[in-house]
Structure formats: C-alpha cells, structure tokens
A and B are shown apart, each in its own frame.
Chain A
Amino acid sequence: ETGVTQTPRHLVMGMTNKKSLKCEQHLGHNAMYWYKQSAKKPLELMFVYSLEERVENNSVPSRFSPECPNSSHLFLHLHTLQPEDSALYLCASSHTLGTGEGYGYTFGSGTRLTVV
C-alpha cells in the first residue's frame, strides 16, 4: 500500500471518551505532521515530527497527545474533547522536515471527527 493512510475516516465521540487517530505512511518519509482543518479556518499545524522526534507543538491543548513510535506511524490520542474540536484532522508526511524543491507534503484523506 502506498501513500498516507488515515484511520478511521469518520469518528463520533463523546466529550468523556478516549480515542486515537492513526496515520501510516509507506513512502520512506522522515517527517510527519498533524493538521486540523475546521470549516471556518485555514489548515492549522498542530504537531511536527522529524525522525520520530517532536520538533514543533503549536500551543495545542493537552487533550491532544501525539505519538510517533517509528518513522512510518503517527498517532493522535484524544481525551475529553470539546465540541469545538470537531474538524477534519489531516496527517501528512514529507521527505524531509518542511518540503524541498519539487517535493511536497503527501496528505492522507483525513479523519472527520465529531465531538458530541
């Protein structure tokens, strides 16, 4: 399987639930990212990992907890979310941190999260 795969595609969770989003890439990329895309806002960078080390955390609330066990897998653990956290969560990877000329981010199809 090629590209970036995100599971689940859709998730409905209550505010007291704990759930995890999974992202997997088989492209040999060294950097992975979590973005949040809300209806009224641009893509928001949440977390950045390079060679399994977190290099950026964009003031994201602690109810979101990322994990990168190896360079092919990225998780986003969710805990006691709020309704305003409902959004499309996109995972991306790139050959190196940031993107070089001619390369780019490869995105997954996202997880549509609804918090009720």
Chain B
Amino acid sequence: TQLLEQSPQFLSIQEGENLTVYCNSSSVFSSLQWYRQEPGEGPVLLVTVVTGGEVKKLKRLTFQFGDARKDSSLHITAAQTGDTGLYLCAGVNDMRFGAGTRLTVKP
C-alpha cells in the first residue's frame, strides 16, 4: 500500500484567484489520478497522469506529475465557485486515495 499525502487539507479562496494543491508519496507510482468530489456525490475522475514530468491541461486546471513519479500537483487558474469540492488523488492500481484537499471558492 502506497501512502498518499495531500496538502493543504483545507483551502478557502476568493473567486478569480489562482491556487495549487499537492499530492505526495515516498513511493513511485506508475501513474496517478485526480478526482473531484462535490457535496452529496461520489468522486469523478478528472485526469490520469502517466509519464514523469508530464503536464496535462483541462481548461483552467493544470496537472503535473513529478519527474520521479512520486508527487503531483493540480493548479487552478482564476478559480470559480463551481470549482468548490474535495480534490482527491489516487495511485493507479492501488485502489486507495489521499485524504484530499477541500477547496471552497467564495464569490
């Protein structure tokens, strides 16, 4: 079992601000996934990152996989209230998730 640590645990920002959240492990992952969970719903897959150093963009969301494949980050540009939710990372094939970053974007 590979332990995933996410930071920060909580983040509250104003609409329009930028933010970055992190997912770190002492172990190497073959690939890693990010999910977003909105209140009252299950997590929904956002992206899978596979190659060390890879950067993937999904509209205002930018995902980066560390060169050593032990860490990943999610950067949101010009946050909107609709970005509010719990952001989770998971190691592919590990079936386990980090504790998540709970993001609140205020209008």
**CB nearest to B40 among chain A residues:** A109
Number of B residues whose C-beta is below 8 Å from A? 22
Instruction: Type the 1/0 row for B5-49, where 1 means its CB is closer than 8 Å to any CB of A.
Output: 000000000000000000000000001010100001111110010
Chain A CB within 10 Å, residue with most, of B45, B50, B99: B45
What's the A-B contact tally at a CB cutoff of 8 Å? Answer: 57
How far apart are the CA atoms of A90 and B90 in the complex, in Å?
15
Interface of A is mostly: loop
Question: Among residues 10 to 55 in chain A, which have CB atoms less than 8 Å away from a CB atom of chain B?
Answer: 33, 41-43, 45, 48
Q: Are B95 and A110 in contact (CB under 8 A)?
A: no
**Residues in chain B within 8 A of chain A (CB atoms):** 31, 33, 35, 40-45, 48, 50, 88, 90, 92-100
**Residues in chain A within 8 A of chain B (CB atoms):** 4, 33, 41-43, 45, 48, 56, 90, 92, 97-110
